[in-house]
Amino acid sequence: MSVISFIVFFIMYKAGDPVELLLPPDATHQEVVQMRAYLGLDKPFTTQYAIFVKNALKGDIGNSYIYGQPAVDIVIERFPATLELSFLAMFFSVILGIPMGVIASVKPKAILSRSIMFFSLAGISIPVFWTGMVFVLICSVYLGILPSSGRGEVLYFTSAFTWDGIKHLIMPVITLTLFQLALIIRLTRTGMMEVLMQDYIKLAKAKGLPNRIVIYYHALKNTLIPVITVIGIQFGQLIAFTIVTETIFAWPGTGKLIIDSIQNLDRPVVVSYLLMVAFIFVIINFMVDVIYTFVDPRVRVK
Amino acid sequence: MKIFENEIVSEFFEDKLAVAGVFLFIAFIFCALFPALLSPQNPYDLEQLFLENSFKAPFGEFLLGSDEQGRDILSAIMYGLRISLYVGVASTILSVLIGLIAGLVSGYFGGIVDTIIMRIADIQLSFPAILVALIIMALWGQGVTKIVIAITIVNWVYYARTARGVVLSEKEKDYAQSAKALGMNSIGIMFKEILPNIMAPIIVIATVRIANAIILEATLSFLGLGVPITEPSLGSLIANGYQVLFSGYWWGSVFPGIVLMSLVISINLIGDRLRDVMNPRLKR
C-alpha cells in the first residue's frame, strides 16, 4: 500500500497544478502564490511527499483542495452509497448466476441452457454504460416510472429500506448486476462441465445416487473454488464499475467523486480513494481465503 | 502451429453461432477498412454537413437519423467503427507481444527477474483495469495512440501470467530439456521450442481481450477520457448522443450502441468457440 501511495502521489504531482483550477482566472499573481503556500504546494516534491507520509501515518491524508474538509472523511462519507450498489449487485449475481450456470452445464444442448448461454454472452458483450443509458431512456424518458438520478430517501446508510429509495436503486443495481451475472454463469458452467467429466462423478452416479445430489453436492462443491476466487476479484471490479454507473445515474457515491476529483486534480481525495480501494482488496482477499477453508477441507489456515 | 490443423478448424465451424460470429466480424472489418466506399457521406467533411438537416429522425432521408450538425449517423458509425477496431486490435497485438516476452523471460529464468515482473503484475492487478486506464488517461489527456498504450499497460499482465504459467510446466518437459542438452541457447529454446505450445491459450485469451479492449475504450470515451472529439469512436458517438437523449433524440446513441454490442458479441462468439475447441479438458 505504501508503494501504491507513492505512485499515486507522484503521478498526481506530475499531473499539474490544481491552483490554476481553483482560483478564478483573473486572480493576481500574489493570490496564486498565497494559495500555493497555503496548500503546501510551493515546496519541492520530496518535502511534499515527506509531509504527506508523516501525516498519513497519523491517518491524515490532507484536506481536499475543493471541499476543504479532510479527504478521507469525504471518501468515507460517500462510501456507503457505493458499497450498497456493489453489495446488492454481487448478491443478485451470485444468487442467480450459480444456479443458472449449473443448469446450463448439466444439459448443454437443451433450449433453456442455450438461452442462458446467449443471455450471458450478451451480458459480457454489452457495455455497462450503454445498458444504463437504455434503461434511463425506456424507464425514465418514455415510461416515466423510475427516477433517473439520485439516491432517494436514505435510512440507516442505505436506501433499501424506503420505497422511494428502492425505486432509485432498481436501475443502477440491474445495470451493475448484468455483467457480473453473465460472468458468474459462464464460470460456473465451464467449471461444472470440467468437473462432471471426472471419474468420481461417474462413480457417484454408478453408486446409484440421485442426479440432484451428484450435481449439487459432489460436482458443485468442487466447482465453487475458482468461482469464489473470481467473485472476490470481481468485487473490486464492481467498485470500479460503479464509476460508470454512478456517472450515468448521478448516484452520490465514490465513483462520481473520483471522476470529479480527477478532473479537478484534487490530489488528497484521489489518493484517499485509491488507498481505500486497495484496503478493500486486502480485506476481500482475506475473506476469500477464509471461505476456502469452509468449501475445501484440503485448505487449512495455519 | 498445431491450432491450424484441419481437425480443429472443421470442429470450429460445426457450431452455427460461431460461423455467424465470423461472418459478422468480417463484415465489420470490411466496413472499418473501407468506410469511404460504403458510407453515404463523409461525416467529417464540413462541406457535406448542412444545419437544416440537424436531428432528422431515422428511416427517412438518413437511414439511421442525423445528429445536431446534420451528420449522418450511419456514416459516423462506419468511421467510428474503424477507430474502435483499431484501438482494440492494436492494443491487443502490443500487449500480447509485451506479455509474451515478459512471461517467457519470467517463467524461464525465474529468480529475481521473475520476482520483479510478477510483483509489478500483482500491484497492477490489485487495481481494477478500468481504474488504472482511467487514471492514465486522466493524467495524460486524450488521444488515440495514448489510449492504445493505456489499454496495453492494463492488458499485458494477463498474457504475461498465462505465458509464465505454461512455461513453468513446459520447460521441465522432455523436449525442452533435450533441446537444452543438445546445446541450444536459452533464447532458442524459449522462442523455437516453448513458444508454439503457449500460443493456444494466448490466442483464446487474446480474442476475448480484443472484445474487452473495445469495451474499455468505449467506456473511457464515454466518460470523456478516451479518444479526442476529432477522431470519434463508437464510444464517443454514444456519449455525444447521450447529451441529447433526454430531449428525445434517441437515435444518436442507440444505433452506435447496437453496432458496438454486435461487434463485441461477434468477437466473443468466436472466442467462446475457440476456447471450447482448444480446451483439452472438455474432450472425452
> In chain A, what are the domain boundaries?
2-57, 76-250
The CATH class given to the A76-250 domain equals mainly alpha
> Which residues, other chains included, contact A184 with Cβ-Cβ below 8 Å and sequence gap of 6+?
A93, A94, A97, A98, A101, A227, A230, A231, A234
pLDDT value at residue B146:
87
Q: Radius of gyration (Cα) for chain A, nearest Å?
A: 24
Closest CA to B52 of B72, B73, B68, B74: B68
| Residue B13, helix vs strand vs coil | coil
- Across the A/B interface, how many CB contacts are shorter than 8 Å? 106
Beta bridge partners of B72: B66
Cell, residue B115: 520476482
Task: Give me the tens of pLDDT residue by residue for chain B, a chain 284 residues long.
Answer: 455 556 777 777 777 888 888 888 888 888 888 777 767 667 776 666 666 666 666 666 666 667 666 677 788 888 888 888 999 999 999 999 999 999 888 888 888 888 888 888 877 777 778 888 887 887 777 788 888 998 998 888 888 988 888 888 887 778 878 887 887 787 778 777 788 878 878 888 888 889 889 998 888 888 888 787 777 888 888 888 787 777 767 777 888 888 898 999 999 888 888 887 776 665 54
Those residues of chain A whose CB sits closer than 8 Å to some CB in chain B are 3-4, 8, 11-12, 14-15, 121-122, 124-130, 133-134, 136-137, 141, 193-194, 197, 236-237, 239-241, 243-244, 247, 259, 262-263, 270, 274, 277-278, 281
* Residues whose CB is less than 8 angstroms from the CB of residue A267 and which lie 6 or more positions away in sequence, other chains included: A9, A12, A13, A18, A62, A65
Given its phi and psi angles, is residue B233 left (phi above 0), alpha (psi -120 to 50 degrees) or beta? beta
| Nearest to A190, CA basis, from A233, A214, A218, A226 | A226
CA distance A138 to A181: 22
- B67's grid cell: 445528429
The backbone region for A175, taken as left when phi is positive above 0, alpha when psi lies in -120 to 50, beta otherwise, is alpha
What is d(CA A195, CA A197) in angstroms, rounded to the nearest whole number?
A: 5
Reduce the DSSP state of residue A70 to 3 states and report it. Answer: strand
For testing contact with chain B, the best of A133, A189, A275 (most B CBs within 10 A): A133
- C-alpha distance from B107 to closest chain A C-alpha (Å): 23
How far apart, in whole angstroms, are the C-alpha atoms of residue A236 and residue A120? 20
Counting as low any pLDDT under 70, the low residues of chain A are: 1-62, 65-66, 151-162, 296-302
Q: Which three cell numbers stand for residue B216?
A: 474499455
For residues B227 and B87, is the Cβ–Cβ distance under 8 A?
yes
Residues of chain B neighbouring A262 (CB-CB closer than 8 A) = 134-135, 138
DSSP letter, residue B53: G
Could you tell me the CA-to-CA distances from B156 to A67, A233, B202 in Å, in that order?
37, 18, 11
**Chain B partners of A247 at a C-beta cutoff of 8 Å?**
223
Coil, strand, or helix at residue A67?
coil
**How far is CA B178 from its chain centroid?**
38
Cell of A176: 451493475
What would the 3-class secondary structure string for B129-146 be?
HHHHHHHHHHHHCCCHHH
State the pTM of this model. 0.81
Helix (H) or strand (E) holding A174: helix A163-195
Please, are residues A285 and A232 in contact by the beta-carbon 8 Å criterion?
A: yes
- Give which of B140, B222, B225 to mutate to test A binding, by max A Cβ within 10 Å: B222
